[in-house]
Structure 1
Amino acid sequence: MSATADTPRTAVVTGANKGIGRGITRRLAELGMRVYLGARDEERGLAAERELRADGLDVRFLHLDVTDETSVAQAAKRLEEEVSHLDALVNNAGVGGSALPPSQVPVAEVRRTYETNVFGVIAVTNALLPHLRRSPAGRIVNISSVLGSLTHAAALEDPTGVFPPGVFPALLEYNTSKAALNAVTVTYANELRGTGILVNAVSPGFVATDINGHRGVLTPEEGARIPVLLATLGEDGPTGTFVGEDATPTGQQLSW
C-alpha cells in the first residue's frame, strides 16, 4: 500500500456522474472528504470529475461498473494503492424498471434490475469492506426507496406523501429489488455490529432523476442531504435503519 496514515477522510459513491450520486459526491467533498466518483462511463465520469474539481473539490473519477466483477476488483485494487482506508461507501448506482403490471414483466427484465440494484451492491460492498474495516468509523449507505417497504406496500400507504392514501405503485422490478436491498442492508448491519461500521438505507425522496423522467419535486442536491448525513454519522449513530427525507433535520424512520 502506497498510501500513508495521513490519508484524508475518503468516500466512494457509485453511479456518481449524475443525479443523486453526483449531489452526494459534491456534498461529501464540500465537507472536506476525498471522494471517488464511481461511474461506468469513462467519458461522463471524467467530465463530472473536471467540473467538480473546478470548484476546488477533491473528487477523483473511479471507473466502476457495479455489474462487472472485473471492474469492481480493479476499483478495489486502485483504492488499495492510493488510500490507507475508506470512511464511507454510498451504494447509489441503480436502475428503474417498466411500469407494466407485475404479471406482464419479463423475467429477464427483473434479472437485469437485480444485477444493479442488489447484486451490484453486494459485489461492491464485499470488495470494499476490507478498506472500510481500516477506518475508525466506516459507514455504508444504501440508496433505497420507500417503494421497497413491504409494510407500507401492504397497507397501500406512502408515508412520504408522494402518493395519495390507497395508492402504492406495484412496480415489480424496482420495488422488489429495493425490498431485497433493504434486507441486504439489515443483514450487513447485523454482521458488522460492534465493528464500528454502521450500515443504513435511505429513501432520498422524490428527486428529479432519469429514473422518474425528472418528474421529482426535489433537486439532486436536496436528495443528497440524508445520504450524506448517514455517511458522516458519529460513533453513536444508528445502524440497520431505514431513513426517509421529510425536510426534518434527521429525516423520518420508515418501516421495512
Structure 2
Amino acid sequence: MKVSYKAALAAALVVMVGCSASPTGRKQFAVLPDSQMNEMGVQSFTEMKKEIPSSSDTKLREQVQCVADTLIAVLPDKYRNQAWEVVLFDDEQVNAFALPGYKVGVYTGLLKVAENQSQLAAVVGHELAHVIARHGNERVSTQLATSQALALGYQLGGEESPEKVAIFQALGIGAQVGIILPFSRAHESEADLLGLEYMAKAGFDPRESVQLWRNMSAGGDSKTPELLSTHPANATRIKDLQANLPKNLAIYEPLATQNKQAKCY
C-alpha cells in the first residue's frame, strides 16, 4: 500500500498537544467551552436525581453537606463562590462524584467505607479536584480529537483492504491504551494529590486518605491490570499519597494545634 500509517498515527498524536495547564502545571488538552461542560453536568445531575432517590437520613445528609461545604470554602475563588449543590443518594455504590456545573453526589454506600469525616473528605476533595482541574473537559476533548484524527486518517488511507482495516483497528486500540487510558490515570492521580491539599487546608487529617484506600483495598482491589485501567491500583494510590503527606501535614497540624480542624462529625 502507498499510504503511510505512521503518518496517520502522527497526525492523530499532533492534535493531542496540550494547549493549557492544570493546577499542578501539567499540560492538558481541553478545548470545549466551560459553559458547555457546565450545561452537560447540570443535565446529567438532573437526570440522576430523577433516577436515584436521595437519602432521607437527615443526620447523614448534614454530615455530607458539612464536609463538602468545608472543602469548598478553601477552593480558589472562582469555585468557592459558586452555588454548589450536594446530594446524598440512597444507593449502595461505594462512590461519589462531582460534575461541571457545581454538582456533587455522594452515595450512602461510601459512608460504610469512609469511616470518619476525614476519609469522606478525601473522596469529596478528590472529586472536587476533577472539576477544578477541568478533567471532564480534557477527557471529552481528548476522545473527540482522537476519534476525529483516526477517522481522517482512515479517509486518507487509500483504497479499502483487509490490511487497512486491520491496521486502523490496531491504531484504535493503541489510541485507547496509549492516550485515553493514561490520561484518565493521570487525572485520577492528580485529583488524589489536589484533594489531599484541599482536605489539609480545610482542617481534615490528610493521613486518613491513606487509611481510606486501605479500606478500599480490604473490600477487594480491581483485578484489571493497571495498564488497562482508568484508575491507578490502590497500592499505587497509597504510595503516592504517603509520599505527599509531609507537606500536607505541615498545613494541617498547625490548624489542629489551634483547634481549627474540621468539625463535621
RCO comparison, higher one (Cα < 8 Å, 6+): 2
Tell me which protein shows more strand as a share of its residues. Answer: 1
The two structures have a TM-score, normalised by structure 1, of 0.31
The two structures have a TM-score, normalised by structure 2, of 0.30
Tell me which protein shows more helix as a share of its residues. Answer: 2
Computing the radius of gyration over CA atoms, which structure comes out larger, 1 or 2? 2
